[in-house]
Amino acid sequence: AQSVSQHNHHVILSEAASLELGCNYSYGGTVNLFWYVQYPGQHLQLLLKYFSGDPLVKGIKGFEAEFIKSKFSFNLRKPSVQWSDTAEYFCAVNSDFNKFYFGSGTKLNVKP
Amino acid sequence: EAQVTQNPRYLITVTGKKLTVTCSQNMNHEYMSWYRQDPGLGLRQIYYSMNVEVTDKGDVPEGYKVSRKEKRNFPLILESPSPNQTSLYFCASSSASGWGDIQYFGAGTRLSVL
């Protein structure tokens, strides 16, 4: 079975600090990669995705992620976080054609 | 409004009492899926369906059943719930076969099995 690892379980930052959340996956074949976000009391929603092409992808709200195939990584970044970014972030991998694998999530708490 | 609707949102039940969690989408999506979310484990896929009458096991299918008789509905059935099925459940759908497509999630169903 595939696995997705998110090493940061809980991150606390002050507003304007930079953010990087790590994501590593175990599958060696073709993958599609996603970051989903769950704001308090809301549905999971897509932040950004990588299918192919430019390994640096940009998503909503100033987030970006870089796919590094040699490292099996898809780290999420934001140069300057805001209080409204407080949420739980999930990395997900689509492999085995129709199956999805999610990481354990990272809870981000941004202090105003 | 495009949405995935789950019912009920909260459910407390006892061991062995059959229950069904419904999931409906209004986007004419072909692909639907069920996940459970547990602390420290993230979301794990239970079952998925590529189209009507086509379902397949995800990573953690034991103790669950699904059916896909209509395109819009994908109920999750627990025929004999046990306490280890206490969890937060999400239904999701996407427009294509599932491969590489964005999933849209329901609001979740919090289930407690006593």
pLDDT tens for residues A49-68? 998 899 999 999 999 999 99
Residues from B contacting A (CB-CB < 8 Å) are 4, 31, 33, 35, 40-45, 48, 50, 56, 58-59, 90, 92, 97-100, 102-108
What is the least distance, in Å, from the CA of B44 to any CA of chain A? 7
The answer to whether the Cα torsion of A41, A42, A48, A50 is positive or negative is positive
pLDDT mean by block of 10 residues, chain B; 114 residues: 93 96 95 93 93 93 97 97 97 77 91 97
In chain A, % of residues over pLDDT 90: 75
- What pLDDT sits at residue B47? 96
Contact across the interface for A98 and B50, Cβ inside 8 Å = yes
Q: Environment class of residue B65 by beta-carbon count within 10 Å: exposed (0-12), middle (13-18) or buried (19+)? A: middle
E-strand ranges in B1-114 read: 4-7, 10-13, 19-25, 31-38, 42-51, 54-57, 65-66, 76-78, 87-94, 104-105, 109-113
Residue A33: the pLDDT is: 93
> Which residues in chain B are closer than 8 Å to A103, comparing Cβ atoms?
42
What value does the mean pLDDT take over residues A81-87? 97
Can you say whether the dihedral through the CA atoms of A23, A26, A29, A34 is positive or negative? negative
Q: Answer yes or no: is pLDDT of A1 > 80.
A: no
Q: Which two tokens stand for residue B1?
A: 């409004």
Taking residues A85-97, what's their average pLDDT? 89
What percent of chain A has a predicted confidence (pLDDT) above 70?
97
